[in-house]
Structure 1
């Protein structure tokens, strides 16, 4: 007796889904200058929402500490992601900018790209594959 094509497709999909593990992403933020305020880390999965914290896939916040601060994102499906983090020194929940363009608080991007102008998703993007169980990245916070 032959299996119906739909049953074969369904069983293949279920097997594929079982292989796709959720991953943990550990983010190390290096170069925090002082302990005032907090560190906010936005995780983005789409270029059109990159740097728009209200539209981030997830946001982690941790107390600021001079030196290095760590945060983690749990249960991430495989995909392409980018991070923008900043030192929210005054606790207003946004990256302060002079003339609306130039950051006046420390900030950092995944891949630590050199930018002139608004950072692009592609410059900061990294992959989490289906085989990835945990990944650690380090971001330099620039003031």
Structure 2
């Protein structure tokens, strides 16, 4: 009886450890096309349509050098994601907008998604992270 209980405990621990040891991945994003090296690039990673452009799961602030920048998000679980970024050219730590919220500063989205009478949609910017992909994204 004790052996049976011990085997059951070992089996359950193996099941829980496999659940807890979920694989994670890295996403490398190469940005190009900036007009200057002034200011920083603010990059956000979103995991759902409901959170898109509102509540990122991760964010990075990266330096612009030679009109390029690279952001890396580590420990990302498999799933669907989208990226948005803006170049804070005047270095005031916020995205400046015109009337109706139209950005004054350069922006970029994964898949180079564009908005039509509003911001881009999650479905146009989303990409999949899974074990079959080594993910490097380029955004202009």
Residues 58/31 of structure 1: CA separation in 2 closer, same or farther (3 Å cut): same
TM-score, length basis structure 2? 0.82
DSSP 3-state at the match of 1:60: strand
Contact 2:37 / 2:67 at 8 angstroms: preserved in 1? no
In angstroms, what is the RMSD of aligned CA positions?
2.3
TM-score, length basis structure 1? 0.80
1:15 aligned to 2:18? yes
In the other structure, the counterpart of 2:36 is 34
DSSP 3-state at the match of 2:27: strand
* Structure 2: unaligned runs, 5 residues or longer: none
DSSP 3-state at the match of 2:41: strand
Residues 127/111 of structure 1: CA separation in 2 closer, same or farther (3 Å cut): same
CA deviation string 1:58-109 (max 9, x = no partner): 1111122343211101111111111000101122222211103221111100
In the other structure, the counterpart of 2:71 is 71
In the other structure, the counterpart of 1:80 is 80
Moved more, 98-107 or 8-17: 8-17
Deviation of 1:135 (Å): 1.1
Identify which of structures 1 and 2 has the higher relative contact order when contacts are C-alpha pairs closer than 8 Å and 6+ apart. 1
Q: Quick one: distance in 2 between partners of 1:98 and 1:111?
A: 24
Q: Quick one: distance in 1 between partners of 2:135 and 2:90?
A: 31
In the other structure, the counterpart of 2:26 is 24
Deviation of 1:33 (Å): 0.9
Contact 1:21 / 1:132 at 8 angstroms: preserved in 2? no
